[in-house]
Structures are given as structure tokens and as C-alpha cells.
Amino acid sequence: MENNKKFAVIGGGSWATAIAKMLCENQEKIAWYMRSTYALEHLKHQKHNPNYLSSVAFDTDKLQLTNDINEAIKFADILIFAIPSAFLSGELEKMTESLEGKTIFSAIKGIVPETSLIVGEHFHSQFNIPYENIGVITGPCHAEEVALERLSYLTIACSDKVKAKYLAKNVSSYYIKTKTSDDIVGTEYAAVLKNIYSIAAGIAHGLGYGDNFQAVLMSNAIREMKKFIKKVHRMKRNINDSAYLGDLLVTGYSVFSRNRMFGNMIGKGYTVKSAQMEMSMVAEGYYAVKSAYNLNLEYKAKTPIIDAVYQILYEGKDAKAVFSKLTEKLD
């Protein structure tokens, strides 16, 4: 792959900001689209995102900032989407520029509600992007630790290994280590499911369950994830790799995990709406659990943890009662 490919980051949140920081370590100029005019102007003049990872200072000479998604698409060969899945369709409706010939990497950890597809499948089915031009960026990696330049690991998945290696090289630095994978479907589903299990971990904590139960919950979660992904996309993969198990663990245990925080509030008795209002960031797992639950009506994998979280968030069942029953199903 040529060495002069240009990048654009689509999104203005914490993960988009972290990815922009990583790319700026290696690129002379990147395009960065964000919807908020206020955030854009603040970034131009104050050199940091006012809403997310505000400690990260940017060299604005390296940024082509825009609130026109078409300008970012026109600028770049490689587009990295990092916006909540629930808002993806709305942003894509603004497009007039063609995606033909572009490489799309998803840093979105969710299912697109309008199509019930993971992001890669959505781009393939709705925009005819060939799978060799679609990739996934996954962890274990929290944006907050990227901001602090704490050692972090990324997995870059694409069926075209050359494209995966090219992106990996361009986000690598002394604090970011990367590996590549060809399992774009499995890694993307793992990134979706781990947010649901993180909500479960948060609910358990909010209800007063201790570390012993959390360990049992997480060990059951990785086995449940393996069964689900195997039903959806059968191929040889090691579920204990960091893209699957590692990403699950960091999301389930970290103080930076917004999904765990959301679940913790639910366990403490918050309603879904009140928990969402109190959080300034989107908990992707809330949307993911409905999509995964409905998808599993077709695949019929055994998923007691997903079922339990769905009952609490969407059927309004009492969290304490649901988890009491769940404890009998885990081993």
C-alpha cells in the first residue's frame, strides 16, 4: 500500500479524539470531522477538545478541522468512523461525496439500529463497500489512557492484511502497540458484546455483589461471547486473544468504562432514562443489548447474561430479582 494515504476521523467524542491523537503522532495532516461547531472553534483556538479528553493538546497545523462530513471524505483515502452507532445513519445521510475507492475502518462498538447490522456489514450492504476495504479498530484500549499516554494495545482487523498493517503502522507509537487480524466480523461482534457484559458487571456491582461473583460473571461472559460469535460467523479464532478476552476484561473492570458506570447506576436503582441523563457520554451497550437480543432470536445461542441485561433495561424487570435468577445459571 502506498505510503501517502490520507486519513480522516469522523466523530467528536473521546474515542475519536484519542484516534486523532494517535494519527497525529505519524501524519503531517489529518482531516477531522465533528458535528459541534462550538467544539470545532474551541479546538481551533484553544488546541484541545473542550468536551472530551480536554487534557490532550493538538498541533492544529496538523488538523484540517471541518463540520462538513463531505469535506473530510473528499480529503481522505482512509476514513475512521468513531461516532455512536445509534447516530451513524443520521450522519451518513449528510453525505453527498462518494465512498467509492475509500477504505473504511470502524472504531464504533455497536450495532446500527436501523439495519441491525454491525458497522462493517452496514457499510457493505448500504454503500456497496467491498469487504476488503472495510476494517475494525478494537482494544483493549480506553481513550482516557491514550490521553495519558499509558501503554495500550490495539487490534486492527481487515481481510486485506496490507491495509490492516498500514493503519497499524500509522497509529503505533511508544505508548500504542498494535497487532493485526483478519477476523473483521468476530472482532467487531466482540467489541459490541463486551459492552453488554460490562453493563452486567456494573449492575452486579451496584447490587452489592463482590469480586468473587464478578470473576464468575466475566468467565461466563467470555464463554457466552464465544458461543454467540461462533453462531454468527464460524471461523478459527482464539477467544482468549486480547481483541476478545482482553477487551472484555478492561471494559468490565475499568473505572473508565462508561458501560460499567451505566450498569452500576441501574444496579443502584436509577431508571434507564435518569442514568442516561446523568452520564455525559453514550453507553453503547444500552443499544447493543436490544440488537444482540433480537439477533439471537434467530441464532439461538445460549446467552443468559445478555437475556438478563435485556430484561432489566427493556422489560423493566427488577435488577435484584433478575440477577438472583442469573446466579443459578452461572458456573
Which sequence positions are flagged as catalytic?
194
* Measured distance CA(209)–CA(206) in Å, rounded: 8
Annotate 230-253 with b (16+ C-beta within 10 A) or e (fewer). ebbeeeebebebbbbbbbbbbbbb
Identify the burial level of 5 via C-beta atoms within 10 angstroms of its C-beta, where 0-12 means exposed, 13-18 middle and 19 or more buried.
middle
Helix (H, G, I), strand (E, B) or coil at 196: helix
Provide the 10 A C-beta neighbour count for residue 260: 27
Residue in 312, 290, 299 with CA at minimum distance from that of residue 85? 290
Q: Could you tell me the CA-to-CA distances from 47 to 37, 67, 71, 75, 82 in Å, in that order?
A: 14, 16, 21, 21, 20
**Taking a C-beta distance cutoff of 8 angstroms, is the pair 180, 241 a contact?**
no
148 contact partners, CB below 8 Å, separation of at least 6: 55
